[in-house]
């Protein structure tokens, strides 16, 4: 990936550790482990928990990126420590903890109405959206 322009760099400079984002959902059948193939239990599936935590990180930073930039998840390490049954709301929070060039590091946590259900760390990278999409599309033409 090419280096960022001065404008893109100055936009990233607006991001500061401590900034937070959130995402929430009410657990329905479509969110269960049984539906996602991550078990048979009728509770929030870990793949959905991961997606919710990523959505909280996106909420934290995307609106501060310049036109043509986006962030992509590159690493996530979480513990799913408690079940959440159908009907309860889950809220994920991502806190930006470190900025290392284009790499954004987050502490993530999710809670239902009763307790913390998951926590961990997540890393995203800021990329040029058009360049990234062209690179992905090129895989279709490669033989």
> Three-state DSSP class for 130?
helix
Cα dihedral sign, 35-41-42-47? negative
Cβ neighbours around 8 below 10 Å, total = 18
- Taking the whole predicted model, whether its pTM rises above 0.75 is answered as yes
Supply the pLDDT for residue 1. Answer: 47
Token pair in block for residue 139: 């895989």
Strands (E), 18-68: 20-26
In CATH, which of 1.20.1630.10, 3.30.70.2080, 3.10.129.10, 2.40.33.20 is domain 6-141? 3.10.129.10
CA 111 to chain centre: 16
Q: What is the pLDDT along the chain (143 residues), one digit of tens a residue?
A: 455 555 545 456 678 999 999 999 999 999 999 999 999 999 999 999 999 999 999 999 999 998 999 999 999 999 999 999 999 999 999 999 999 999 999 999 999 999 999 999 999 999 999 999 999 999 998 76
Catalytic residues: 46, 54, 80
Q: How far does Cα 38 stand from its chain's mean position?
A: 19
Looking at residue 11, what is its pLDDT?
59
pLDDT reported for residue 12: 65
Residue of 139, 136, 5 whose CA lies nearest to 65: 5
């Amino acid at each position: 990936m090419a280096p960022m322009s001065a404008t893109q760099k100055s936009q990233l400079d607006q991001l500061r550790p401590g900034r937070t984002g959130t995402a929430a959902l009410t657990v329905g059948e479509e969110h269960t482990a049984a539906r996602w193939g991550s078990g048979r239990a009728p509770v929030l599936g870990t793949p959905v928990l991961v997606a919710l935590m990523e959505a909280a990180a996106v909420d934290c930073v995307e609106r501060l990126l310049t036109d043509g930039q986006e962030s992509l998840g590159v690493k996530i390490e979480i513990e799913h420590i408690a079940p959440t049954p159908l009907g309860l709301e889950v809220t994920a929070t991502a806190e930006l903890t470190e900025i290392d060039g284009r790499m954004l590091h987050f502490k993530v946590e999710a809670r239902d109405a009763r307790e913390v259900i998951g926590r961990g760390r997540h890393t995203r990278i800021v990329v040029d959206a058009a360049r990234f999409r062209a690179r992905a599309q090129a895989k279709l033409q490669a033989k």
